[in-house]
A and B are shown apart, each in its own frame.
Chain A
Amino acid sequence: MTEISPMEEWLYSCIRCGNCKYVFKGYAPSCPSGEYFNFESYFASGRLWIAHGIQKGELDWDPSLIDPIFSCTTCGNCEVQCLAPHREHIVEMIEELRHLAVKKIGALPAHQKFAERIESNHNPYGAEHHARTLVQEHSLPNMASIVYFIGCTSNYRENEIRDSTISILQKAGVDFTIVDEHCCGSPLLRTGQVDEVTELAEHNRTEIQHTGAKIVITSCSGCYRTLIKDYNRLGLELDVEVVHISQFIRELINEGKLILKKSFEPLQVTYHDPCHLARHMGEYEAPRDVLNFLPVDFVEMDEIRESAWCCGAGGGCKAAYPEWSLETAKTRIEHAVETEASTLVSTCPFCKRGLADANNDSMEIIDLCELVDRLS
């Protein structure tokens, strides 16, 4: 948490004009939560007003507040559409409200499991911790100029993202290694369990420091946001440059270090902006630049970039509200199907998981790293 509480700072700000409900001037729905749950309380303004009510003592903590507070993917689309002075702080306020809710009512059982598993296994899936065994498997050095921070979802669920990233880095002759990483803390931060994160961040910082690396690459948009933005907020700067893999691949291609296949693949791809990479961190171009380098046809969906529809998996919602999360992902797949592309590409393992779960074979769903690995 920052020292000045955003809830306090923006107490008298949301007019409940509802502009955050739809894409400004595009008029397509913007808030996956409000769109599904419908009540005013499930749009950004509802959450801000619950925060307001709590802050002013007009609303008591009550278990019935849990759903409106936690069924938000923290996608940040509302921040783009809102025209009021507090717009850049909406997600911060929602996260602060969640932090308070956890203190007062306790974390949601699904979210509590994240914390327990991270404590026991260093990842929210409770999978057997094995980050360092990859070092032997891939004959990686102990010291290197670059650390590949895999992220739990790539490492324990969407392994092909991890493997294709390693393959790309090796093909390009990059001097990198892997550390004994613990969960970056993103699942805890997004679900109001902030207090547990400092220890994780400190561990990761120490591990990275031991390699002497100056750059950390991550193929997870959630880790990317957390390692930069959240660690900074917590006063735990890593003292290294954190780079998203899409940015790194663009550089490798530009410098001629990664050679792409020349022959054109008869593949039409479209791209889904992950909220954590795009809206939260402002990176819209790198993945598109890479796609434009590749020998494929790249077509855009209608709702993209700042106004992209969320995949529904973030903010702890896939675990706590699976049905809604799935519906949200289905909508995104429908957007992709409308482009007539055969392949939906993303740059976040969590988006891939969410979208894949909602897919009824209408599309191939892959990560940019997999596509690049396939075409290099």
Chain B
Amino acid sequence: MDIKQRFENIVGTKYVSDGLGERYIYSFDMTENPPRKPLLIVMPSTVEEDKKIIELANETLPPLVPFVTGQNVGGLTIPQVEGAVIVDLKRMDKILEVDEEAMYMVIEPGVTFGHVKRHLDKHHPTLRYTYPLAPPYTSVLANALVQGLCDLSTTHGSMTDFINGLEAVLPTGEVVRVGTSIMGDGNWFARYPLPDLVGLFSGWQGMTGIVTKIALKLWPKKKFEGFAALFTFGEHATTHLIKKIARSGISEDLDSQSLSIIKMLLKVPYPVKHFDGEPDYGTVIGYTANSEIELNEKFRQLQELVDTAKEDDPRIVLIPWPTVVKLMGDQANEWIDFPSDAFKVLAEHDGLTWVGTYIHPKHWGTALDGGRKIVEKYGFELMAFMKPLNILHIAEFKFIFRFPKDEETIDRVRKCCEELLDFALSLGALPYKTPIWSAKKVQKLADPAFFELARKIKKLLDPNNIMNPGRLDL
């Protein structure tokens, strides 16, 4: 019996394909990372099937690449070795539990942000999750595993910080749980005490098993919410003011970006240029409160911080949201209602990539200033994204590129990204959702003991190296 038939015996013939079309489509993503065709694609729908797939892989040794929608913007689902089997998990798409009291949900890999939003709005309207500026139909579980940044990250950190626990099929076939659910179902309320083994799966890009369930924190929706838009000039002045606002704790979400992105939302055609005299950055500031008095007070405090900054640069403006809506129309509300709905500005071409890092807040302004010069040198649109995380323990430093995937542009994108990353690494930044090319660069500079440890853990968990081998260049 050939390997395809053996996979078919596990999931059924309808859910295995080695067709040329499927192998081609799963061989690349939207980024510049080089493609590689898998051997076949298999689509399980239960934990039992995942387990059998892993057991078969241990016996016959095709590498397995977990996949949900492949939109990680880092080439993370592109096989790194020949003969790989893509394990497309989108059929595992159940929201298994929402616990209103301990405020968490338990979901399967195929559940998307759109579906979580719909489910919560309909059945648990007092609770919310954290939403990215990503297309609405990307995996919530995968984004938590790859440390994504969403609209509650300024307050609560990356999505990995939302994980209460998970269930996974290990590369050797055992099904394990970590977190308080080891005491049984309906008990996914915390990640600790005991060793924090979530770390065996987060940031590993599918190298340590197939995560089959994840419990994620939800948050109460406050009664009142307000938004404002802040327009600022210069990299250092902007990050200085954003830091002050973040540390004040007034704002739940601070979403800062190059003005070009706002212009894209206003339908300025590609390529969007920056003009002298325009503000350099626009920041959407979200804040919530239990009463209108508290909400107004928060805005007053915000205004006060901005007024102080205006003493140095009177061009800075803070615009209350109703005025933004008048200027931008309904699009403005789309952005704040569900950030995913505003991702459309990134869908101009078939190519999209970014250099996204976590950086020490002290280097934020310098990074942004240097990064901007690099991006301008290569002639790309200015699309910086930055967000303070966990109030301000971490700063996000990221430049995004939308581009047509022709050879010349891909080449230019690669060079620009490399230069940007070299610069960020020189400031001690670390790339997240780390593509292989950037993992290689990190390994050249970082403490080798860390990667040695990572290799040891990988070997221990996955002696046959069947789970997404080659990632992080381990």
Given contacts A19-B136, A49-B25, A50-B25, contact A85 B20 (CB under 8 A): no
- Contact with A38, one of B19, B90, B351, B405 (Cβ below 8 angstroms): B90
Q: Are A64 and B21 in contact (CB under 8 A)?
A: yes
Q: Are B69 and A68 in contact (CB under 8 A)?
A: no
Q: Which secondary structure dominates where chain A touches chain B?
A: loop
Q: Are A13 and B350 in contact (CB under 8 A)?
A: yes
A67 within 8 A of B: yes
Q: Are B69 and A46 in contact (CB under 8 A)?
A: no
A331 to chain B, nearest CB (A): 16
Q: Are B344 and A22 in contact (CB under 8 A)?
A: no
A27 to chain B, nearest CB (A): 4
Please, how many angstroms separate the alpha-carbon atoms of A142 and B15 in the complex?
Answer: 57
B70 within 8 A of A: yes
Q: Which one of B18, B24, B115, B348 has the highest number of Cβ atoms from chain A below 10 Å of its Cβ? A: B24
A78 within 8 A of B: no
B36 within 8 A of A: no
A368 to chain B, nearest CB (A): 32
List A71-101 residues whose CB lies under 8 Å from chain B: 83-85
A40 within 8 A of B: yes
Q: Which one of B112, B118, B136, B343 has the highest number of Cβ atoms from chain A below 10 Å of its Cβ? A: B136
Number of interface residues of B (CB under 8 A): 44
Chain B, Cβ-Cβ closest to A59: B24
B199 within 8 A of A: no
A58 to chain B, nearest CB (A): 7
- Contact with A18, one of B43, B69, B344 (Cβ below 8 angstroms): B69
A65 within 8 A of B: yes
Q: Are B348 and A16 in contact (CB under 8 A)?
A: no
Q: Are A40 and B24 in contact (CB under 8 A)?
A: no
- Contact with B21, one of A14, A25, A50, A84 (Cβ below 8 angstroms): A50
Given contacts A13-B349, A14-B350, contact A19 B24 (CB under 8 A): no
B17 within 8 A of A: yes
B29 within 8 A of A: yes
B41 within 8 A of A: yes
List A35-67 residues whose CB lies under 8 Å from chain B: 37-41, 46, 49-50, 52-53, 58-60, 62, 64-65, 67
Q: Are B135 and A12 in contact (CB under 8 A)?
A: no
A21 within 8 A of B: yes
For residue A22, which residues in chain B have a CB less than 8 angstroms away from its CB? 112, 114, 136-137
Q: Are A40 and B70 in contact (CB under 8 A)?
A: yes
B91 within 8 A of A: yes
Given contacts A67-B19, A68-B21, contact A17 B71 (CB under 8 A): yes
List A258-285 residues whose CB lies under 8 Å from chain B: none
For residue B406, which residues in chain A have a CB less than 8 angstroms away from its CB? 12
B26 within 8 A of A: yes
Q: A12-B406, A17-B347, A67-B19 are in contact. List 6 more A-B contacts (CB 8 A).
A: A13-B350, A15-B349, A39-B22, A40-B25, A40-B26, A64-B20
